[in-house]
Amino acid sequence: MKITIIITAILFIYAAFSTIYHDTGLIGDIGKKIGETNLSLFGHVAYINLFILFYPLYKLYSDAKVRKDIDFYLGWILLFISLVLLSALVLEPENVGFLGTQIVAFLQPLIGKAGLWLFWLMVTALATVFIIDDDFNFSGFDVKAPRLSLPSFSWIGTTGSVLKSVLKKIFTNPFSSSALEDEMMPVLEPIDEKPKRKTAVKRSTVKNTPIKKAIPKKPLSKSEKALAEELSLRSYESKESENPVIDTLKESESVTAVVEENVVHNTNVQIVSELEENSKLMNEIEKGKVAKPKNFKLPKLDFLQKAPKTTKKVNEAEIDRKIEELLAKLAQFRVDGDVVRTYSGPLVTTFEFKPAPNVKVSKILGLQDDLAMALSAETIRIQAPIPGRDVVGIEIPNESIDTIYLREILESDIFKESSSPLTVALGKDIVGNPFITDIKKLPHLLIAGTTGSGKSVGINAMILSLLYRNDPDQLKLML
C-alpha cells in the first residue's frame, strides 16, 4: 500500500512539473506531451487540478473504508468541474481548456449565459455539501466519514444556531417534510419572561458496561430530539465536548441494533463424532483374513513409533465459543445464517454453516481470506456447498494440532480386518477416525499439495502399508 502511494505521488509530481515546465525542455518528450495534453484539456486549471485530485486518491489508497464514501469523492469531482466551468466563464478563450470549452458550447445554447452562472452555483453548492457535511443522508444512503464541520454562526447569536441546525437537518434528509418543522419547534414555542435555570445534562458514556444498559429503550420524542440537538450545538460552540449528545445516542442505537440482530439463537448444534460418508466408504472395504507368507516373516510394528495414549474429549464450551466467534465475524461481513453441525479432528474443526436464503454462496467463498484474518487463523478452507447438502463447510485450524502416527493406523481394527493385500493407510479423517483404502479401486492416483503439506509422508505411508502385508515374492516396486 505504501509503495502504491509513493508511486502515485511520484507520477502526480512528474505530471505537475510537466505541466509547469512543458516548454523548457527539462522534462523530456514524454513530459512535454503530458503537459501539453493537460493544458489543452483544462487550460489554466491544469496548474492546480493535479493537486486537487491527489488528496482524494491518497485517501482512497490509505483507508479501505473511505472507498465507500461515494459522496466524498463526488464532491471533489464536482469541485473540479466547478473550477473548469468557472475558468471558461471568466478567462479569455485562449486560456480555457478543451473540457471547459465543450461544457460551455453544449450548455449555453440551452440555458444561456445567466443559466451557465446558475448552473455553476448549483455545482459549487453541491460540491460544498458533499465535502463539508459530516453526516449526509440521501434517500436512505447513509455515509459517515471525517468531514469539515459546519461553521458555528456564533457571530449572529441564537438565530445563527437555529440556522445551522435547520441547514444540517435539511442536508441530512432533504426529502423529509418534517425536517424543517422539527427544527423550528423550539423557536415557535412561547418564551417565558423569566429565564429558567439551566439543567445540567449528564453525558452518556459507555465504559465497561453492556451496550443495552447504556441506551434508553423508548425512542426520543420530537421535543426531546430538539432539546438534544440544541445541546449538541451549544457543546460544539463552547468546544467542551468533541462528541455531541445526539450523535452519541444515534451511534449507540445503531450499535445496539447490530448486536441484537446478530445474537446466536440456535443452541442445538450437533457435535458429530462420525461422518456418514466416511462410514459408508469404510463399510465397502473387503473384510477377511489376510494370507500370511510361508517362507517370509513380515516386519514388526515395533519398528514404528508408538502413539502416546491420550483420551480424546470434545470441549463443548470451546466449540460454543468458536461458533459464536465465527457467527460474529460473518455478521460483520453481512452474512446471516447459523451453524447446524460441527466436528473436530486432529488438525481442523469443521463448522457446517447454513446461510440465510438471501445469502449467495459466492459471497461466502469470497470471504475466505477476510475470515482467516478476522479469526487470526493461518488459513481456513471453505467448501461451498458440501455436495448433497444445503450447508457450507468452514474448516478452521485447531489451536493445538495432534500428530498422526502410522503405527496407530496399522494397529486399527479397520486395517487388520481388511482382506485385500493392497490395503494402504491414508491417515485419519476429519473427525479423527482411521482412514484406509484399497489400491485396486484406484486405477489412477494423483497426489498434490503445497510444499510441506505431507505428499512425501503420504507416499511413504502407502509403501510401508504394503510392506507390512506382503512378502517380496508378492510385492514388486517398479519405477
Phi, psi of 6 (to 5 degrees): -65, -45
Dig out the grid coordinates for 237 from the structure. Answer: 460552540
- Lay out the sheet containing 348-355: strands in order across: 270-271, 337-344, 348-355, 392-397, 381-383
Cα–Cα distance for residue pair 473/87, rounded to 1 Å: 95
Which run of H or E residues covers position 138? strand 135-138
Taking only the tens of pLDDT, the chain with its 479 residues reads 455 566 666 777 777 777 777 677 676 777 788 877 877 777 777 777 666 666 666 666 555 555 556 566 777 888 888 888 888 888 877 777 777 787 888 788 777 777 788 888 888 887 887 777 544 444 444 444 444 444 444 444 454 555 556 555 554 444 444 444 444 444 444 444 444 444 443 444 434 434 344 444 445 554 555 555 555 555 544 444 444 444 444 444 444 444 444 444 455 677 766 677 777 778 778 787 777 777 888 888 888 988 888 766 677 888 888 888 889 989 888 899 999 988 888 888 899 999 998 888 888 888 888 888 888 888 889 988 888 888 899 998 888 888 889 999 999 888 888 888 889 998 888 888 888 998 888 888 899 988 888 899 999 999 999 998 888 888 888 88
Domains of the chain: 2-144 (no CATH), 154-186+203-261 (no CATH), 284-307+403-467 (no CATH), 316-397 (3.30.980.40)
Predicted TM-score (pTM) of the model is 0.42
Residues 152/164, Cβ–Cβ less than 8 Å: yes
Q: At which residue does the C-alpha cell 445464517 appear?
A: 337
Cα–Cα distance for residue pair 399/402, rounded to 1 Å: 10
Q: What is the pLDDT of residues 222-253, one digit of tens each?
A: 455 555 555 555 554 444 444 444 444 444 44
